[in-house]
Structure 1
Amino acid sequence: MPSKLVKQTTQAAALSAISNIFAQIIAAYRNDKPFQLDHIQMLKFAFCTVLNTPLNCLWQQYLEETFPSQKPAPASSKKPVEAQRSLDASNVFKKLLLDQTLGAAVNTVLYITVMAGMNGASANEIIQAVREGFWPLTLDGYKLWPLFSLVSFLWIPVDKRVLASCAVGMGWGIYLSLLAAEK
C-alpha cells in the first residue's frame, strides 16, 4: 500500500492536471479557438505539484507538531478525550503567520522557478522571473490562502490539509495556468 505522502502527492498532481485542463478550456473559449489539449503544459503543472506536495505535507506536519491547534486536556479531566481539548488560538495565529509568510514565499519561489526552468529559462532568466513575479503572485495569493489556511488550521486534520488545499487550489490552479499561458 502506498504511503500517505505518495497518495497525497498523486491526488494533488491529478487535481493540478485537471485544473490545468480547465484553464486550457477557458483560454480556448476566451480566444475563440477550438480546444486542443496541450499535454506538455498539463504535465508541467502536474510535475510542479509532484515536487512541491511532499514539501507542503512535511511543512503542515511541522506546523501542527510545533504549534498544535488544540490545547491538551488537563491530566485530571474525566471527560472523553474529544471533549477535553480546546482551541489554542495563539498557536493557530502562529501557524497562520508562518504559513502565510515563510510558507507562501517558499511556495511562490518554487512555483516560479520550476515553471520557468521547465520552459527552458536560464538561471538568469529564472532569477528575473522570480523578481518580476514574486510580489504580484504573492499578493494575488493573499486574496485566497489566508482564509483557507485559517479554516484548515481550525477544522481540517493535518493529514488532509494538503489535499484539501489542492481541492480549493483547483481554482487557484486555473488562475496560475491562465497566468502562465499569457507569458
Structure 2
Amino acid sequence: MALPPIAKATIQSAVLAATSNLLAQTLTSYRHETPLIVDWVPVFQFVMYAVVNTPPNFLWQEFLESSFPAYHISPTPTAIASASSNDDKALEKQAAEGKLVEVKLNLTNTFIKTILDQTVGAAVNTFLFSLFIHFIQSAMDRPLGTPLSTPDRSVAYLLSLFFGSLVGAKGKEVGYGQVDWSAVVQSSKGEFWPLMTAGWRLWPFVSVVNFAFIKSVEGRTLVGSLAGVAWGIYVSLFAAR
C-alpha cells in the first residue's frame, strides 16, 4: 500500500533532519579537532520537529500551488500565426501533432508564491522553530551536560525519559511543566531576525531555481532535499550554541 504524499514528505524530512544534525556534529568535531561523540538527543529533537512541522508546511505548499499555479496553457507561436492567417489546414496539422498549445511558466504566480513563502511562510516557520527547540531543550533537562559522554548514554537518557520504568532506569518524564515560557518566547524573539536573514540567503534562490528551471517533481525534490540538508546543518549548529 503506497503512502500518501504528505506521509512520504514527513518521513523524508525526518531522515534529512537526522542526517543534517549528525553532519553538524561531525563538522563541529572537525572544527574543534575533538573526537566525534554522537549525541542522539539533539538528533531526536530535530527529528521530532520535522515530524511536527512537515505536515502543515506540506499543506501550505499545496495551498500556494493551487492558488497560484506554476504553469499555464498558452497557444504556441505557430498556432497563433496559423490562426492569424486563417490557415485551417495548418491548424489541423498542428492539432494532430499536439503543437497547438504549450505549457509555460507563469512568472507572476511564481513571483507571488516566492514572496508569500519567504515572508509569511518563513516568518511562521522561523518563530515556531525557535519556540519548539527552546521548549524541548528546556523540557528535556540534561543533568549529564551537553553533549553526553558517549552515544550509548545519550540513547539511555532518551529511553529513560520516555520509558524509564521499562528499561530499568531512574530517568524522569519529559518535564513539560518546568518550561519557562517567557524565557522561551524571549529567546525566540532574539533569534528571529538572524534566522530569517540567514534563510533569505538560501531559500529564495532555491525556490526560483525549482520553479523556473526544474520541471520534474523528482528534480525539484532533489534540489529541495539538498538545500534542506545544508539548512539543517546551519540550524543544528545555531541551536547548539
Gap change, CA 1:17 and 1:47, over 3 Å in 2: same
Partners of 2:127 and 2:188 within 8 A in 1: yes
Partners of 2:16 and 2:229 within 8 A in 1: yes
Instruction: Name stretches of at least 5 consecutive residues in structure 1 with no aligned partner.
Output: none
Gap change, CA 1:106 and 1:161, over 3 Å in 2: farther
For 2:217 and 2:199, locate their aligned partners in 1 and report how far apart those are by CA, in whole Å: 21
TM-score by length of 1: 0.89
For 1:175 and 1:81, locate their aligned partners in 2 and report how far apart those are by CA, in whole Å: 47
**Residue 179 (1) aligns with residue 238 (2):** yes
What's the RMSD between the two structures over aligned residues? 2.3
Shift in Å, 1:167: 2.7
Q: Which residue of 2 aligns with 1:107?
A: 125
Deviations 1:130-169 (A, max 9, x none): 2100001000111101100111223255697567423311
Gap change, CA 1:150 and 1:81, over 3 Å in 2: farther
TM-score by length of 2: 0.69
**Residue 71 (1) aligns with residue 72 (2):** yes
Shift in Å, 1:14: 0.3
Gap change, CA 1:9 and 1:164, over 3 Å in 2: farther
Shift in Å, 1:56: 1.5
Gap change, CA 1:81 and 1:38, over 3 Å in 2: farther
Gap change, CA 1:160 and 1:103, over 3 Å in 2: farther
Shift in Å, 1:118: 0.5
What is the count of residue pairs matched by the alignment?
181
Gap change, CA 1:160 and 1:55, over 3 Å in 2: farther
Query: 1:33 aligns to what SS in structure 2?
Result: coil
**Amino-acid identity (%):** 37
For 1:135 and 1:127, locate their aligned partners in 2 and report how far apart those are by CA, in whole Å: 14
Partners of 1:12 and 1:163 within 8 A in 2: no
Q: Which one-letter code corresponds to 1:16 in the other structure?
A: A
Instruction: Name stretches of at least 5 consecutive residues in structure 2 with no aligned partner.
Output: 80-93, 139-178
Partners of 2:114 and 2:207 within 8 A in 1: yes
Query: 1:62 aligns to what SS in structure 2?
Result: helix
Query: 2:69 aligns to what SS in structure 1?
Result: coil
- Compare relative contact order (CA 8 Å, sep 6+) and give the higher one, 1 or 2: 1
Gap change, CA 1:97 and 1:159, over 3 Å in 2: farther
Indicate the larger mover: 94-103 or 145-154.
145-154
Gap change, CA 1:99 and 1:25, over 3 Å in 2: same
Q: Which residue of 2 aligns with 1:129?
A: 187
Larger radius of gyration: 2
Partners of 1:69 and 1:153 within 8 A in 2: yes
Shift in Å, 1:101: 0.3
Q: Which residue of 2 aligns with 1:52?
A: 53
For 1:6 and 1:160, locate their aligned partners in 2 and report how far apart those are by CA, in whole Å: 19
83, 87, 90: which one aligns with 2:108: 90
Q: Which residue of 2 aligns with 1:34?
A: 35
Q: Which residue of 1 aligns with 2:227?
A: 168
For 1:161 and 1:125, locate their aligned partners in 2 and report how far apart those are by CA, in whole Å: 38
Q: Which one-letter code corresponds to 2:239 in the other structure?
A: A
Partners of 1:56 and 1:162 within 8 A in 2: no
